[in-house]
Amino acid sequence: MEVILDPSKANGPDPVMDGDQRTFMKDVVEASREVPVLVDFWATWCGPCKALTPALEKVVRAAGGRVRLVKIDIDKNRQLVQQLTQMGLPLQSVPTVAAFWQGQIADLFQGALPEGELKKFIENLLKMAGGQMPSAELLAEAKQLLEAGDAAAALEIYAALGQQEPENAEALAGLARCLIALEEEDQAKEMLDSLSDKLKEHPEISSVRAQIELAEAGRAAQSQLGAFEQRLAANPDDHEARIELAIALNSMEKRQEAAETLLEAIKRDREWNDKAAQKQLLKFFEAWGLTDPVTLKARRGLSALLFR
């Protein structure tokens, strides 16, 4: 079903509002369980923000209440920005627009996009939220096949979708994951390296690239698993050994144990080696995906440590 943005349907309460750190949970996280919510992180000194925000407001209002926009001034909400950044949301530059759906980040972009690209972004978000995106069922089927261990069958679906929709980041990321599962990691890396800069920045693509990097590091760490455990037994504050142990555990598909190992390192000394344990945990989050159950649980644990 084609999603049409029609200004004549823009009735009811204004879907555009200013937000802050006090109301973020209510206006964004909780509200996104009903309709998709875009969060525009901006600043008064940001030139591109002055071009993006009015266009974004126009497109959101034209969606007729099917999507909302919450604008966050980063200078007035530094605590919120710091917390979101530490939890893995890239807010080093503005404007950054994050789309929330069902309490989680569904997509994001940075920089000022033209109105046509904004419409496309919101249309894709609405299709995803409504479960009506033409390729959604195929993507779900391929994902299910891959999770069930049939990477070859999943590969055929992802490859077909990639040919039909060359800009479909989910299909391309799925294709790379199938290649990894089929022990064709070099081919997966070549495919990812050939993508446009825009696609490389997509969260799905970033996730699979992080997965490859962690797999490479994990193979090296696994060979010294016993040594890391012995070092920790001798000295529980050997943070380097604890981080390497987490990398090895992750490569063995022991995600929960890997996350708990890094959380223990952060608890003992969060500042060690320029927050190395925290950075490694964020790398895990990126590779596992925003909605992975272990990511969600570990993110809550990280938040509790950082803001206790």
Nearest to 41 by CA among 117, 95, 102, 89: 95
SS3 state at 252: coil
Q: CA 210 → CA 33, 127, 128, 173, 200, distances in Å?
A: 28, 27, 24, 11, 11
Burial class (CB within 10 angstroms; exposed 0-12, middle 13-18, buried 19+) of 307: exposed
Neighbours of 8 (CB within 10 A): 7
Q: From start to end of the chain, where are the E strands? A: 16-19, 37-42, 68-73, 96-101, 104-110
Q: What 8-state DSSP symbol labels residue 94?
A: S
Amino acid at 53: T
CA–CA gap between residue 53 and residue 303 (Å, rounded)? 30
What positions carry a catalytic annotation?
Answer: 46, 49
